[in-house]
Copies of this chain bind each other. A is one copy, B any other.
Amino acid sequence: MPPEVLISEVGPRDGLQSVQATMPTAAKLRWIDALHAAGLREVEVASFVPAKLLPQMADAAEVVRHVLSLPGWTVMALVPNRKGAEAALRAGAHKLTLPVSASEAHSLANVRKTPLAMVDEVREVLALRDAIAPQARVEAGVSTAFGCTLQGAVPEDDVVRLAVALAEAGVDDVGLSDTTGMANPAQVRRLFQRLFAEIADRTGAAHMHNTRGLGLANCLAAYDVGVRTFDSSLGGLGGCPYAPGASGNVVTEDLVFMFEAMGVSTGVDLAKLLAARAPLQQGLPGEPLYGMTPEAGLPKGFVQELRHG
C-alpha cells in the first residue's frame, strides 16, 4: 500500500526565494539529496523567473536537471507565466505549479494581472505543455484563498469560481494556499468541501502557513475533509515575499510527525528528515530554522512504522 498522504516539500523554492542569502548550487543539491533520502516523493525545487528578480533561483534549470536523476519522485517547478513554463519544461520538470491569486489586489501586486487574466495565461501554459511535454502535470495553486493582507477578506465564492475556471481550463490539480496565514479550520473545511463538490479529484494540495500558529490545525482540518497532499517546508523556511507581514510555511518536520503519530503514513522517514536540516543549515549559515519537533525530539518510545511508496 502506498503512503496515505503526500508531503510536497516546497523549501528549495518557496523557502530559498524568501531569504536574503543565495544558497550555492552545490549546497542546494546536497540538501535536496537529503530530502530525497528521507523519502519525500515530491519537491518544489526551483522557480523559473528572471534571475534579476530572484537571484536565488538563477540556477533553476541546473537544479532541475540534477535532481531528475534521483529516482521515484516528482520534481516540481514554480512558473509565473508561459515563458517560465517553457524553460521549466525544457529543463525536464515533471510538474509545474502556477500561483493564481484569488484576491485581485494581491494578483495585481504580484503579477500585474487580474485573476481572470491569469486563467488565460494558464491556458497558454497548458497548450505549451501539450505541445512540448505532454507527460508533465500542471497544478494551479490558488493563493490568498483564505484572506489577503491587501484587500482583507476574500469571498469564498471568488475562490471557488476561480478554482472551477482553472479546472475547466484543464489544470490537473487545483490547490488552495493560505498565503497570508489567515485561514482557520472551519473555513478550510468549508472551502475544500466546496472544491471536492465542484471539481472532484482535481482538488489538490493544502498549502498552509503558520503565521498565527494554526498551520497544523488547518492541515488536520483539510485532511478531515479528504485532502491528501500537503505543502510544507523543512525548518518552516519561507512564506510569501509579496504579502507584507505574511510568513511561516508549515514546518515539514512537525507535519510529518503529526501524521505519523496519528498512524497516517507519509512515506517520510522522520529520523532522516530531521537529519536533512544539517545540509540546509550548512547552505544558509545563520538563517533561523523553525520547528518544535526538531527541538523536542521524537517522544520516548515512539517507533515509526515506515511505509514506502
Contacts and interface: CB of A to CB of B under 8 A. Distances in A.
A52 interface: no
Interface in A238-262: 245, 247-248, 251, 254, 257-258, 261-262
B245 A182 contact: no
A164 interface: no
Contacts of A254: 212-214
B296 A148 contact: no
Number of copies: 2
Contacts of A300: 147-152, 182
A292 B184 contact: no
Given A220-B220, A262-B186, A212 B181 contact: no
Contacts of A217: 216-217, 219-220, 258
Given A220-B221, A301-B152, A301-B153, A245 B213 contact: no
A203 interface: no
A181 B258 CA distance: 12
A296 B263 contact: no
Nearest to A224: B224
A92 interface: no
Contact of A186 (B211, B245, B263, B302): B263
A210 B300 CA distance: 16
A279 interface: no
A144 to B, nearest CB: 11
B261 A184 contact: yes
A211 B292 contact: yes
A245 B211 contact: no
Nearest to A259: B184
A212 B301 contact: no
Interface of A: 147-153, 180-182, 184-187, 210-214, 216-217, 219-221, 224, 245, 247-248, 251, 254, 257-258, 261-264, 291-293, 296-297, 299-302
Given A212-B257, A213-B258, A245-B296, 16 more contacts: A147-B299, A147-B300, A149-B300, A151-B301, A152-B299, A182-B299, A184-B258, A185-B220, A187-B261, A211-B292, A212-B258, A213-B257, A213-B293, A214-B261, A216-B217, A224-B224
Q: Which 4 A-B pairs have the closest CB atoms?
A: A152-B301, A213-B292, A184-B261, A213-B254
19 contacts: A147-B301, A152-B300, A180-B299, A181-B296, A181-B299, A184-B262, A185-B258, A185-B262, A186-B263, A186-B264, A187-B261, A212-B254, A212-B299, A213-B251, A213-B254, A217-B258, A220-B221, A245-B296, A247-B296
